[in-house]
């Protein structure tokens, strides 16, 4: 089938939740490059939205999945599973947590974390169930994670929302303090809000939140679905802050493209999940866990996390160079290879995305008109410099047109969610 035929098929048969998608269909990828059906190459600075941390066709990941598929794809959780136990061990050994539960997605990991926090206090006979989250956060699309997501526009069509959630402004410790009640069981945060435009939590805020949690006996849940797995230049973003959360949630990069989510928790909290409290048919199956093992060991053994930190510095400096040059760039922010460039609202970010795509670069536009860069961690310096040159050329046209007159028909959207 050619590209147009596939698009027509999708439009007829697939639910239209993604609107007008980018009109490219990828056939295969190698390292950080994707090739479309016509053989055109694209350097990928989105990585399946922070998923493909090892890029495309990484031999360690391909070998792990292939050999697991030849042995056993799935086995029910009625039995012990070697890859599951091994993957859990690796996550525990490399984090501040003690026990792991595997889910299938970020939303599902967060849903489980919410249940775990509530069960922890239920077991203690305490009536604490409220979860405080941040405005403009994004925690997923299930009903409870939508309720946790601090963006009314996503909740509205699906009311009533599950009870027990409230959101307060991000990076505002006073607002958080005021929101706490005797019923508060957990504070749930992203350390960098990805979907709303790569907004970073400040060091003081994170330290303050942790202290508040300690003082008030409240659990700290960190949603590292996007920031985890080396993305920010540490295996987990909390490691930048010298704090330890009670619960961490992961997904996206954990399987390098194979769907898997995880909850990691301290022993005292994890033990609240006892037989029957939680479960999943697919969660932690041999295939997904074999992929996770390959991702974690490759990230650690190939020095990809330190490399991410160094390349991220270089990338950020190059983005700053563009910011100094073009007055319509408002801000450059982020850590490691999770970077954002906020544009004046008069410059339509989605058209920059389309213009970059035409030049063979995949970028994304998130909330607050922010270009978001989340390349595979195997991206090279030369590829980053290539993107900067391409953006330089595109921004020059923006400047010359005194406004924005790049005409691109098929529209990328400034997505606020993944
Ligand atoms: C921080 C964060 N949490 C949760 C999710 C939901 O993950 P999933 O789409 O795998 O359910 C996302 C997705 O973008 C995310 O960025």
Q: Is the CB of 51 under 6 A from ligand 1?
A: no
**What pLDDT, on the 0 to 100 scale, is given for residue 119?**
98
Closest C-alpha to ligand 1, atom 16: 226
* 322, 329 Cβ separation under 8 angstroms: yes
Strand positions, DSSP E, 38-177: 41-44, 99-103, 130-134, 165-168
Q: What do you get for the CA distance between the two ends of the chain, in Å? A: 27
**What pLDDT, on the 0 to 100 scale, is given for residue 410?**
41
Q: Is the CB of 87 under 6 A from ligand 1?
A: no
- Each residue's pLDDT tens digit, 72-130: 999 999 999 999 999 999 999 999 999 999 999 999 999 999 999 999 999 999 999 99
Residue 298 CA, ligand 1 centroid: distance in Å: 23
Residue 38, classified by CB atoms within 10 Å of its CB into exposed (0-12), middle (13-18) or buried (19+), is exposed
- Ligand 1 pocket, mutate which of 17, 18, 107, 151 (most atoms under 8 A from CB): 107
What confidence category does residue 401 fall into, taking pLDDT thresholds of 50, 70 and 90? confident
Residue 141 CA, ligand 1 centroid: distance in Å: 8
**What pLDDT, on the 0 to 100 scale, is given for residue 416?**
40
Assigned fold of 72-301 = 3.40.640
Residue 138 is among the residues annotated as catalytic for this protein? yes
Q: Is the CB of 194 under 6 A from ligand 1?
A: yes
- Give the mean pLDDT of the chain: 95
Q: Which of 330, 327, 342, 341 is nearest to 403 (CA)?
A: 327
- Ligand 1 pocket, mutate which of 103, 137, 140 (most atoms under 8 A from CB): 140
Q: Is the CB of 140 under 6 A from ligand 1?
A: yes
Residue 252 is among the residues annotated as catalytic for this protein? yes
The architecture (CATH level 2) of 3-58+303-400 comes to: Alpha-Beta Complex (3.90)
Q: Which of 377, 374, 386, 241 is nearest to 310 (CA)?
A: 377
Q: Is the CB of 367 under 6 A from ligand 1?
A: no
Query: Around 137, how many Cα atoms within 13 Å sit in the side-chain half-sphere?
Result: 31
CA distance 251 to 256: 9
Q: Is the CB of 192 under 6 A from ligand 1?
A: no
* 138, 193 Cβ separation under 8 angstroms: yes
Q: Is the CB of 315 under 6 A from ligand 1?
A: no
Residue 165 is among the residues annotated as catalytic for this protein? no
- Each residue's pLDDT tens digit, 254-312: 999 999 999 999 999 999 999 999 999 999 999 999 999 999 999 999 999 999 999 99
**Nearest atom, ligand 1, residue 142 CA:** 11
- Choose, from 223, 241, 273, 316, the residue flagged as catalytic: 223
- Ligand 1 pocket, mutate which of 106, 188, 195, 196 (most atoms under 8 A from CB): 106
DSSP secondary structure of 214-277: HHHT-EEEEE-TTTTTTTTSSSSGGGGTT---SEEEE-GGGGTTS--EEEEE-HHHHTT--TTS
Residue 224 CA, ligand 1 centroid: distance in Å: 9
- Choose, from 45, 101, 102, 138, the residue flagged as catalytic: 138
- Each residue's pLDDT tens digit, 200-258: 999 999 999 999 999 999 999 999 999 999 999 999 999 999 999 999 999 999 999 99
Residue 251 CA, ligand 1 centroid: distance in Å: 7
CA distance 352 to 176: 36
**What pLDDT, on the 0 to 100 scale, is given for residue 403?**
54
Q: Which of 140, 131, 152 is nearest to 195 (CA)?
A: 140
Enclosing H/E stretch for 35:
strand 33-36
- Ligand 1 pocket, mutate which of 149, 190, 226, 237 (most atoms under 8 A from CB): 226
Closest C-alpha to ligand 1, atom 4: 139
Residues 52-67 have a mean pLDDT of: 98
What confidence category does residue 402 fall into, taking pLDDT thresholds of 50, 70 and 90? low
> Do strands 361-362 and 184-189 pair parallel, antiparallel, or not at all (unpaired)?
unpaired
Domains of the chain: which residue ranges? Answer: 3-58+303-400, 72-301
**What pLDDT, on the 0 to 100 scale, is given for residue 83?**
98
- Each residue's pLDDT tens digit, 27-44: 999 999 999 999 999 999
Q: Is the CB of 139 under 6 A from ligand 1?
A: yes
Q: Which of 241, 195, 197, 204 is nearest to 222 (CA)?
A: 241
What confidence category does residue 400 fall into, taking pLDDT thresholds of 50, 70 and 90? confident
- Each residue's pLDDT tens digit, 349-385: 999 999 999 999 999 999 999 999 999 999 999 999 9
Q: Which residues pair with 272 in a beta bridge?
A: none
CA distance 319 to 387: 10
Q: Is the CB of 195 under 6 A from ligand 1?
A: yes
């Amino acid at each position: 089938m050619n590209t147009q035929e596939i698009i027509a098929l999708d439009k007829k048969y697939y639910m239209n939740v993604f609107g007008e998608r980018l009109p490219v269909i990828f056939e295969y990828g190698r390292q950080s490059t994707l090739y479309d059906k016509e053989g055109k190459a694209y350097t990928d600075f989105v990585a399946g939205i922070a998923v493909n941390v090892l890029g495309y066709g990484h031999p360690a990941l391909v070998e792990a999945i292939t050999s697991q598929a030849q042995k056993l794809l799935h086995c029910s959780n009625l039995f012990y599973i070697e890859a599951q136990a091994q993957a859990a061990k690796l996550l525990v050994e490399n984090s501040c947590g003690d026990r792991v539960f595997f889910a299938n997605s970020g939303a599902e990991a967060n849903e489980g974390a919410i249940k775990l926090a509530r069960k922890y206090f239920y077991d203690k006979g305490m009536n604490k169930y409220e979860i405080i989250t941040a405005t403009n956060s994004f925690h997923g699309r299930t009903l409870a994670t939508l309720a946790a997501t601090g963006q009314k526009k996503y909740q509205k069509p699906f009311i009533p929302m599950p009870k027990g959630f409230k959101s307060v402004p991000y990076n505002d410790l006073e607002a958080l303090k005021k929101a706490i009640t005797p019923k508060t069981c957990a504070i749930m945060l992203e350390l960098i809000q990805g979907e709303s435009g790569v907004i970073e939590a400040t060091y003081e805020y994170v330290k303050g939140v942790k202290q508040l949690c300690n003082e008030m006996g409240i659990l700290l849940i960190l949603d590292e679905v996007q920031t985890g797995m080396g993305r920010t230049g540490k295996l987990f973003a909390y490691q930048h802050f010298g704090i330890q959360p009670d619960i961490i949630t992961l997904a996206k990069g954990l399987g390098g493209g194979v769907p898997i989510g995880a909850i990691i928790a301290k022993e005292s909290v994890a033990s609240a999940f006892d037989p029957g409290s939680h479960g999943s048919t697919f969660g932690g199956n041999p295939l997904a866990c074999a992929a996770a093992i390959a991702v974690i060991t490759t990230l650690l053994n190939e020095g990809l996390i330190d490399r991410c930190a160094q390349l991220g510095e270089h990338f950020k400096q190059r983005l700053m160079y563009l910011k100094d040059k073009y007055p319509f760039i408002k801000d450059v922010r982020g850590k490691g290879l999770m970077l954002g460039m906020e544009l004046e609202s008069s410059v339509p970010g989605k058209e920059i995305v389309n213009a970059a795509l035409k030049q063979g670069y995949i970028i994304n536009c998130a909330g607050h008109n922010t270009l978001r860069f989340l390349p595979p961690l195997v991206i090279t310096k030369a590829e980053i410099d290539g993107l900067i040159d391409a953006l330089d050329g595109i921004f020059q046209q923006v400047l010359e047109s005194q406004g924005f007159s790049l005409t691109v028909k098929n529209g990328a959207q400034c997505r606020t969610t993944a």
